């Protein structure tokens, strides 16, 4: 049996199986470890299905007369080889947890579940009981670490404290990272269901994939709300929230998460996108729109309405009208310059936001220009006040949210 044991160990060595201490495994850089885990999954499959199964067959043939001799001999031949393989798995399961490890833990858990029946069949009998227990113990340990990694991830999303919010209000790296992470989770749907079954709570409910996904999404949203508060400009804050929630909704609608989270969830989050777009429009443009209101220009009576400057039948003072145009130009240019540097990366969303601004701004400007423009047509340098046609303003609006600095 010693000769067979060393032949088996040589076969594993030739395959590429290394004897590594837990300490060595835990000190390895993640990139190297990741490829070694991929190899380990491959080795486990070959070892159980071919090598160990072959040794079992051989033992059964040689010691046909005695079941206990078969089991004893098989145990002696395979003990060290199995221990080497399981030891690597245990080192990974016990290593420091981090979000990117979840998927390899699930891969490892998957292969152990897949091989469980064969392990129980091949490592049959009392002499192999400890080996069976070790394999089962690794499966449970991987499940536990995966479960904890999952909880860590949700907590890390909620508490992510990266201060690097972009000055253009675009989609935050955390958002795309979390969405990609959740998309990957759906490749493991059946494995995760199995995993959650293992950890049913006392009330009998497992952490179902739907509720876990919702919790992660909620954690992300809470974090985005906190990040948004770092923007000093409330209009940009709404652009940031609109961009990020829109990215989440769009990604969910294109993935398997759509069926899991459901239509209500999607509709609720689309409303949040719309609310932020409306808030942005109100906060960013209300002052400019006040310049285009007739209020305060057409009240009857009062001083300085029709004086040396002349007036018109509406009773508006030319000076006041000039001041309004001047104020509009100044504020529009300031907003334009600032908001060309803001970014709405999704082209459809960008276009609809520009249209929403055009819908409130252009009719108000046309109406104001038509009503009060004639009053200053004959004054010195009217172009100084009526600087833009409505068509020019429309062209300017077409440059907003491109993430570039522009000057009108």
Tell me the domain boundaries of the chain: 1-156, 167-277, 283-295+316-398
Per-residue pLDDT, 189? 87
Calculate mean pLDDT across residues 77-85: 96
Q: Which of 56-70, 81-95, 384-398 has the lowest mean pLDDT?
A: 56-70
Q: Is the pLDDT of residue 200 over 70?
A: no
Spatial CA neighbour of 232 closest among 154, 338, 368:
338
Q: Place 406 in a pLDDT band, splitting at 50, 70 and 90.
A: low
Q: Domain 283-295+316-398: give its CATH architecture.
A: Up-down Bundle (1.20)
Would you call 312 helix, strand, or coil by DSSP? coil
Per-residue pLDDT, 210? 82
Q: Who has greater pLDDT, 165 or 206? A: 165
Calculate mean pLDDT across residues 159-176: 88
DSSP state of 299: -
> How far is residue 299's CA from residue 318's CA, in Å, rounded to a whole number?
14
403: alpha, beta or left? (left if phi > 0; alpha if psi -120 to 50): left
Q: Which of 25-34, 221-230, 302-311, 365-374 has the lowest mean pLDDT?
A: 302-311
Calculate mean pLDDT across residues 258-287: 95
Q: Is the pLDDT of residue 17 over 90?
A: yes
Arithmetic mean of pLDDT over the chain? 89
Q: Is the pLDDT of residue 319 over 60?
A: yes
Query: Residue 386 is encoded by which pair of tokens?
Result: 């009526």
CA distances for 214 relative to 182, 257, 271, 346, angstroms:
10, 10, 17, 24
Q: Who has greater pLDDT, 66 or 175? A: 175
- Which of 111-115, 156-160, 373-377 is most confident? 111-115
Per-residue pLDDT, 65? 73
Q: Is the pLDDT of residue 7 over 80?
A: yes
Q: Is the pLDDT of residue 307 over 90?
A: no
Q: Is the pLDDT of residue 305 over 50?
A: no
> How far is residue 404's CA from residue 401's CA, in Å, rounded to a whole number?
8
DSSP state of 47: I
Per-residue pLDDT, 309? 40
Interior/surface letters 165-175, b for 16+ CB within 10 angstroms, e for the rest: beebbbbbebb
Per-residue pLDDT, 374? 87
Calculate mean pLDDT across residues 2-31: 91
Spatial CA neighbour of 288 closest among 396, 170, 167:
396
Per-residue pLDDT, 109? 97
Per-residue pLDDT, 268? 97
- Which of 6-10, 122-126, 182-186, 272-276 is most confident? 272-276
> How far is residue 27's CA from residue 342's CA, in Å, rounded to a whole number?
44
Q: Is the pLDDT of residue 92 over 50?
A: yes
- Burial label for 401, CB within 10 Å (0-12, 13-18, 19+), is buried
Q: Record the pTM.
A: 0.84
220 within 8 A of 248, measured Cβ to Cβ: yes
297 within 8 A of 321, measured Cβ to Cβ: yes
Q: Place 310 in a pLDDT band, splitting at 50, 70 and 90.
A: very low
Q: Is the pLDDT of residue 300 over 50?
A: no
Query: Residue 355 is encoded by which pair of tokens?
Result: 């249209």
């Amino acid at each position: 049996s010693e000769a067979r044991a060393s032949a088996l160990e040589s076969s594993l060595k030739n395959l590429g199986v290394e004897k590594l201490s837990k300490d060595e495994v835990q000190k390895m850089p993640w990139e190297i470890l990741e490829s070694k885990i991929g190899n380990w999954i491959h080795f486990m499959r070959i070892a159980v299905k071919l090598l160990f199964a072959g040794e079992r067959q051989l033992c059964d043939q040689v010691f046909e007369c005695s079941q206990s001799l078969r089991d004893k001999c098989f145990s002696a031949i395979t003990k060290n080889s199995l221990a080497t393989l399981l030891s690597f798995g245990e080192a990974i399961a016990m290593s420091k947890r981090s979000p990117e490890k979840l998927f390899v833990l699930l891969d490892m858990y998957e292969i152990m579940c897949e091989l469980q029946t064969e392990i129980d069949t091949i490592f049959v009998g009392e002499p192999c009981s400890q080996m069976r227990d070790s394999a089962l113990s690794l499966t449970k340990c991987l499940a536990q670490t995966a479960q904890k990694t999952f909880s860590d991830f949700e907590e890390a999303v909620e508490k992510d404290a990266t201060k690097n919010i972009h000055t253009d209000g675009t989609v935050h790296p955390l958002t795309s990272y979390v969405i990609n992470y959740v998309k990957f989770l759906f490749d493991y749907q059946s494995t995760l269901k199995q995993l959650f079954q293992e950890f049913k709570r006392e009330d009998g409910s497992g952490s179902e994939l739907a509720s876990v996904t919702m919790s992660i999404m909620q954690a992300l949203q809470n974090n985005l709300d906190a990040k948004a508060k770092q923007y000093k400009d409330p209009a940009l804050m709404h652009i940031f929230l609109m961009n990020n929630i829109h990215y989440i909704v769009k990604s969910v609608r294109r993935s398997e998460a759509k069926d899991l989270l459901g239509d209500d969830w999607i509709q609720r989050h689309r409303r949040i996108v719309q609310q932020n777009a409306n808030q942005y429009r109100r906060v960013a443009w209300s002052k400019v729109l006040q310049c285009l209101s007739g209020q305060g220009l057409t009240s009857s009576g009062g001083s300085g309405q029709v004086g040396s400057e002349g007036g018109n039948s509406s009773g508006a003072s030319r000076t006041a009208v000039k001041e309004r145009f001047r104020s509009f130009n100044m504020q529009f240019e300031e907003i334009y310059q600032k908001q060309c540097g803001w970014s709405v990366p999704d082209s459809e969303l960008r276009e609809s936001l520009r249209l929403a601004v055009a819908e409130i701004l252009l009719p108000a400007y046309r109406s104001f220009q038509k009503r009060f423009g004639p009053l200053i047509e004959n004054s010195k340098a009217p172009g100084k006040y009526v600087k833009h046609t409505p068509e020019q303003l429309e062209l300017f609006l077409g440059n907003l949210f491109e993430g570039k600095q522009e000057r009108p």
